[in-house]
Chain A
Amino acid sequence: MADSTFRWLMLLCALSIFAIVALIAIELVTHSQMTLAKFGLKFFVGSAWDPVSGEFGALPFIFGTLVSSAVSLILAVPLAVGVAIFLTEMCPKALRGSFSFLTELLAAIPSVVYGTWAIFTLVPLLREYVDPVLIKLLGWTGLFVQPDFGIGMFAAGVILAIMILPIISSLTREVMTAVPHTQREAVLALGATRWEMIRMGVLRNARVGIVGSIILGLGRALGETMAVAMVIGSSPTISKSLLAPGYSMAAVIANEFNEAVSDVHRSALIEIGLALFLVTIVVNACARLLVWAVTRGAPARAT
């Protein structure tokens, strides 16, 4: 075989990446034609989802996806940044490898296993110990009110938080480590405490990258399917209380796709998938750009 043939073969394989993206887009658009044409943009603002009577409004799922993702970010970001600070600036070098291995393990656990653990261990725990406290302390906000069955938006947010922690933490560590040592020394030489050195010399310099890693975590949370499907309650309703059951875009597709009552129903689900596709592409592209800007295009670990 000639060298040029080989090169073309390799190029073709590299271009397959584009082909895959195009393929997904084409399939999604083609198979959601029915509802795209029928409902137009109203699809995304309608709040009634009743496949049997032909009503398809995707708002409950968009709401559920956004709320569960927001809860997960609120819970995960402080913890992830805290772990990153501990591992990069405080942890003795000997222990660093073991701890980072443990956070890597968190990332390796499949979604369905998280979901199983969430159903049998996390949700009962939340229902027994955490939710009552939240209802007592924060019930006045309207966000944590009875009835509480354990499963619901909050449970989904918690398990999502555990799942996106590793990616936010490892990327934050990467950008923190990339800050030159001379910056840390400059702050210390002014007479700063260790926390002040971390705040002014490291976090401040790495903040663009940290934001990027948070957005990446958001992208992951938006698309998480199995664990969320197992604990969110599968109820296409919009509620103020986080303890109420809800639904997310990915979860409704997972649950209803194979039982779709009609072609229109399936088309509607695929349209939700199309929206999910577009949103995660945009979010991930923005995040990657931010992280790239800080680490200057060094091949980031594909996670």
Chain B
Amino acid sequence: MATTHPKSSTANRRWRWFANHTASVLAVASTILVIAPLVAIFVDLVYKGAVSLNWNFFTKLPAPVGENGGGMANSIVGSALLLGLASLMGVPIGISAGIYLSEYGRGTKLSNVVRFTADVLNGVPSIVMGIAVYGLIVVPQKGFSAFAGGVVLGIMMIPTVARTTEEMLLMEPHSIREAALGLGVPNWRSMLSITLKTAMPGVITGCMLAFARVAGETAPLLFTALGNEFWSTALNQPIAALPLQIYVYALGPYDEWHRLAWAGSLVLVFLIVVSVALVRFVTTRGVLKGAS
């Protein structure tokens, strides 16, 4: 026993103490380094963006090139329209898919494959989605359109909405479903009016997450909605969108455009952050636990 009594040497002990403290320092440093860009971005957004947020910004069209005083009203309206279209498409299909995964296909191989595919689909670059819808809609219709933009954003929402809907439904206790069955109405009615309704807050937050995600997407709109300098809400015409316009302005040569890019970014980020915060609030405090 005495020959190999593992009383560690002083050097070993000192090294372990040193390693322990270094690891702690590095972990804290990493956190600071990660939070730093976030703080920097928000500071920039507020400082550089807020100055341009005036009445003009929200109500006027882009000014002629080089002139001041323009706004991004058409982009804001355009984005709203696109997101509305996208939700019309993506939410019902996504929720239905989620209902299938949870209520009909639970545990089956098919639903496992669907779930896996949805996750993988979430990883496909959005620009590739844009190309696909370009080929599907823009080419046959021989023109860019708000409709095409809505379709691509809607398609992008489906996997996220499906997964979160499934998650929320899975969390519901069976007793609710049994109670619904006991009411003696056709199964699908009870499904919608009771089972789904109970999970509604969570389902809605899932939709909001998907919404927030596609609200900031630029790449897929490059070859579908294209962007538009003027007022347009026609579905079969190109339409302006906030992220698209920010992209154009940020890369442009005029200072006024850069200011507008920052202002647009501030508005966009603000809306997205509010959605994310709301989602977090609902899932950690409100009706549901364990969803985040």
On whether A and B touch (CB less than 8 Å), the answer reads yes
A contact set with B: CB distance below 8 Å: 1-3, 6-7, 9-18, 20-21, 23-24, 27-28, 30-31, 78-83, 85-87, 90, 97, 99, 101-106, 108-117, 119-121, 162, 165, 169, 193-196, 198, 216, 219-220, 222-226, 230, 250, 253-254, 257-258, 270, 273, 276-277, 280-281, 283-285, 287-288, 292, 297, 299-303
* Chain B residues within 8 Å of A14, by CB: 96-97, 100-101, 105, 110-111, 114, 162
Q: Contact check, B99 vs A219: say whether CB atoms are below 8 A apart.
A: no
Given A11-B104, A281-B120, A121 and B40 contact (CB-CB distance below 8 Å): yes
Q: Contact check, B31 vs A86: say whether CB atoms are below 8 A apart.
A: yes
Whole-angstrom CA separation of A169 from B273 in the bound complex: 19
Partner of A83, one of B31, B41, B217, B261: B31
Q: Contact check, A196 vs B250: say whether CB atoms are below 8 A apart.
A: no
CB-CB contacts below 8 Å: B94-119 with A = 94, 96-97, 99-101, 103-105, 110-112, 114-119
Whole-angstrom CA separation of A16 from B121 in the bound complex: 12
Whole-angstrom CA separation of A252 from B265 in the bound complex: 23
Given A3-B188, A102-B38, A257-B223, A110 and B218 contact (CB-CB distance below 8 Å): yes
Q: Contact check, B124 vs A82: say whether CB atoms are below 8 A apart.
A: no
Interface residue B155 (Cβ < 8 Å from any Cβ of A): yes
Whole-angstrom CA separation of A1 from B185 in the bound complex: 12
In the complex, 17 of the A-B residue pairs with CB atoms within 8 angstroms, ordered by the A residue number, are A2-B186, A10-B97, A13-B100, A23-B136, A99-B35, A101-B277, A105-B276, A115-B250, A116-B262, A193-B19, A219-B123, A220-B123, A226-B247, A258-B223, A281-B124, A284-B124, A302-B159
* Chain B residues within 8 Å of A284, by CB: 119-120, 122-124
Contacts A104-B276, A110-B217 supplied; 14 other A-B pairs, CB < 8 Å: A13-B97, A16-B93, A20-B158, A21-B117, A21-B120, A24-B129, A28-B132, A82-B27, A105-B38, A193-B19, A225-B218, A270-B131, A285-B116, A302-B164
The residue in chain A whose Cβ has the minimal distance to the Cβ of B186 is: A3
A115 to chain B, nearest CB (A): 7
* Chain B residues within 8 Å of A23, by CB: 132, 136
| Minimum-distance CB pairs A-B, first 4 | A110-B216, A82-B30, A223-B125, A284-B123
Given A83-B34, A99-B31, A90 and B265 contact (CB-CB distance below 8 Å): no
**Secondary structure of the A contact surface, majority rule:** helix
* Chain B residues within 8 Å of A195, by CB: 19-20, 23-24
The residue in chain A whose Cβ has the minimal distance to the Cβ of B127 is: A225
* Chain A residues within 8 Å of B226, by CB: 258
Q: Contact check, B218 vs A111: say whether CB atoms are below 8 A apart.
A: yes
* Chain B residues within 8 Å of A85, by CB: 23, 27, 30
In this complex, the member of B38, B103, B127 whose beta carbon has the largest number of chain A beta carbons within 10 angstroms is: B127
Whole-angstrom CA separation of A165 from B16 in the bound complex: 29
Given A11-B104, A195-B19, A302-B159, A30 and B135 contact (CB-CB distance below 8 Å): yes
Q: Contact check, B23 vs A198: say whether CB atoms are below 8 A apart.
A: yes
Whole-angstrom CA separation of A16 from B44 in the bound complex: 41
Whole-angstrom CA separation of A15 from B117 in the bound complex: 10
Interface residue B29 (Cβ < 8 Å from any Cβ of A): yes
* Chain A residues within 8 Å of B73, by CB: none
Whole-angstrom CA separation of A86 from B280 in the bound complex: 21
CB-CB contacts below 8 Å: B39-80 with A = 40-41, 44-45, 48
Q: Contact check, B128 vs A24: say whether CB atoms are below 8 A apart.
A: yes
Whole-angstrom CA separation of A219 from B187 in the bound complex: 41
* Chain B residues within 8 Å of A106, by CB: 34, 37-38
A233 to chain B, nearest CB (A): 13
Interface residue B26 (Cβ < 8 Å from any Cβ of A): yes
Given A28-B131, A101-B280, A303-B122, A112 and B38 contact (CB-CB distance below 8 Å): no
Given A120-B258, A277-B128, A3 and B187 contact (CB-CB distance below 8 Å): yes
Given A115-B247, A302-B164, A18 and B188 contact (CB-CB distance below 8 Å): no
Q: Contact check, B24 vs A302: say whether CB atoms are below 8 A apart.
A: no
* Chain A residues within 8 Å of B186, by CB: 1-3
